[in-house]
Amino acid sequence: MREIQLPLSQTQKVRLQKALEQLESLSTKVNSDASVIIADSIHVNHEDGVLKGHGTADLNGEVVATLCGVVERVNKLVYVRALRSRYKPEVGDIVIGRVVEVAQKRWRLEINYNQDAVLLLSSMNMPDGVQRRRTAVDELNMRCIFEENDVVCAEVRGFQHDGLHLQARSRKYGKLNRGQLLTVPPYLVKRQKQHFHHLEEFGIDLILGCNGFIWVGEHVEAKDDMIEDQVSQSDSQVLFPNKNCVSLEEQEKNYTILETRKYISRAANAVRVLSTLGFNITLEIIKGIIDLSLSMNLDIHDMLGSEFCVLVAEKEAERRSSMKKRR
């Protein structure tokens, strides 16, 4: 991980060091003998016919590591779980990407992978919700759906001959509006059953993408959005054919109240604090940090200060030690 680059005073440095040492003592006992460096040999029993997985290579009949990380063994599979690598897509992952190109019948999305992902026009629902075959008119209107630099939420469909394919066949996927996009290392986001979270007390949506892109935005009801889109689409076609003209109704629709914007910024700063410290990003920890900052009556920009980061590290150490005692 990146070295924690915070302007720490002497007292804060000691407190942070103590909290990190406590966290290390809680988990190092399990992992200390499993970390490897590049070109280290991994001890395996060759009679069992082990499978060499990701991050390993065969060299003169010996299994060596090609990455720095932790050795994991699953039955006969031996692989190295790297902590500093790019996102590795799996089928069914929920990812957030940014549109970089609108090509013929497809959009290209940047999802922190070594090549751009492809979202086909036929792999997503049309905005009006009608299930029908895509026509040439739909191809011409692709920029009305997504244009360059839009943020899109999608699901990994699989690998095809021309690259990684995504799909957005549900109402919960699609374009993301009125929020913040954050980028964290992908290993901080664990794969869970639920990656869409609605924080009701704050009125915001939280999407933890498996590729390290995290979206914090205003809450959007899925069904109402369809009806509103239909009404505004017909209105804009009839009344305002010029795209540059933004009507007062659309301004009111795109406006987010100040209270919600503050909550969005507070949640985004909570994610940034976790990314700075290198902690796992889950819903419970994010909620805990938001509540901690609210209870201290902290300003939003003070959440990124060194004092609050040290406090978050200490709280996390207490939480994990209490969880360990509970078991």
Closest approach of other proteins to the CB of residue 58, in Å: 11
The angle formed by the CA atoms of residues 81, 82 and 88, to the nearest 5 degrees, is 85
What length is written for the chain?
Answer: 327
Among candidates 231, 45, 25, which has minimal Cα distance to 127? 231
Strand duo 69-74 + 35-36: pairing? antiparallel
Which residues neighbour 24 within 8 Å (Cβ) at sequence distance 6 or greater? none
Binding segment for other proteins (CB under 8 A), chosen from 51-59, 129-137, 198-206, 303-311, is 51-59
Kindly identify the residues of this chain, within the stretch 163-222, that bind other proteins according to CB under 8 A: 187-188
Kindly identify the residues of this chain, within the stretch 226-265, that bind other proteins according to CB under 8 A: none
57 binds other proteins (CB under 8 A): yes
* Sheet containing 51-52, strands listed edge to edge, beginning at the edge strand earlier in sequence: 35-36, 69-74, 77-82, 51-52
160 binds other proteins (CB under 8 A): no
Helix (H, G, I), strand (E, B) or coil at 89: coil
* Phi and psi, residue 22, nearest 5°: -65, -45
Q: Are 25 and 319 in contact (CB under 8 A)?
A: no
13 binds other proteins (CB under 8 A): no
Binding segment for other proteins (CB under 8 A), chosen from 218-226, 232-240, 255-263, 278-286, is 278-286
Helices 10-31, 306-326: axis angle to 10 degrees equals 30
277 binds other proteins (CB under 8 A): yes
Closest approach of other proteins to the CB of residue 280, in Å: 7
Among candidates 164, 224, 212, which has minimal Cα distance to 187? 212
Kindly identify the residues of this chain, within the stretch 73-132, that bind other proteins according to CB under 8 A: 82-86, 114-116
8 binds other proteins (CB under 8 A): no
279 binds other proteins (CB under 8 A): yes
Binding segment for other proteins (CB under 8 A), chosen from 30-38, 146-154, 216-224, 289-297, is 30-38
23 binds other proteins (CB under 8 A): yes
Binding segment for other proteins (CB under 8 A), chosen from 60-68, 120-128, 164-172, 244-252, is 60-68
Interface residue list for other proteins (CB under 8 A): 1-3, 20, 23-24, 26-28, 30-32, 35-39, 55, 57, 59, 66-70, 82-86, 114-116, 187-188, 277-280
